[in-house]
Amino acid sequence: MSMLGLLIFPAFMAFAAFSDMLTMRISNKIVLGLIVSFVILAMIVGMPLSLFGVHVGIALLVLIVSFILFSLGWVGGGDAKLAAVTALWFGPYISLVYLIYGALFGGALTLVFLGVRMIPIPAQLKDVVWINRLHSSVSGIPYGIALAAAGLLVYPQSVIFIGLIG
């Protein structure tokens, strides 16, 4: 079970990144899957209820801040939910590190997209819907890619990961 448990978070992060890249959406099913998986794995690793509560509090704080950013048009709604549910997994110890990496990766991703969008799409790719969407200057940036990369980078430091390998 512990090996399967270790793979749940990376699988959801990869799915969120690819979903955002291909559709510019992060499904609520991904967010709900991450919440349910966290609750189950927190019980399996014996996370104290007080620490569980702190994880929930951190996630709610990130949700509030990220939805303020969403209301300003700076991030998408799926990105806001993904950041919050990822903070649920990371709690007080590494959520700030995760958010800093997410911001750095997001900035780099934005610069890459701005640069690529100045180059015309090759004729062979003009009929590929998701490539046209990503290339469009009116589309946003699939920030879920950056959030997933940041999450994967810090996941080995999480209480869940350490509890499952311990």
Say what the pLDDT of residue 107 is: 96
Kindly state the average pLDDT of the residues 153-162: 97
Residue 13 pLDDT class (50, 70, 90 cuts): very high
The answer to whether 140 and 21 are in contact (CB under 8 A) is no
DSSP assignment of 137-148 = TTS---THHHHH
Could you give the residue ranges of the DSSP H alpha helices within the chain?
Answer: 2-23, 28-44, 49-71, 77-116, 129-135, 144-154, 159-165
Taking the domains of the chain in order of start, what are their residue ranges?
2-165
Say what the pLDDT of residue 42 is: 97
Say what the pLDDT of residue 143 is: 95
- Pair of tokens at residue 119: 């180059």
Dihedral Cα 41, 45, 46, 49, nearest 10 deg: -40
Cα Rg of the chain, angstroms: 17
Alpha carbon 111 to chain centroid, angstroms: 19
pTM (predicted TM-score): 0.93
- Does the pLDDT at position 24 exceed 60? yes
- Does the pLDDT at position 1 exceed 70? no
> pLDDT tens digit string along 94-153?
999 999 999 999 999 999 999 999 999 988 888 899 998 899 888 889 999 999 999 999
Q: How far is CA 163 from CA 4, 145, 155, in A?
A: 13, 26, 12
> pLDDT tens digit string along 48-107?
999 999 999 999 999 999 999 999 988 999 999 999 999 999 999 899 999 999 999 999
Say what the pLDDT of residue 46 is: 96
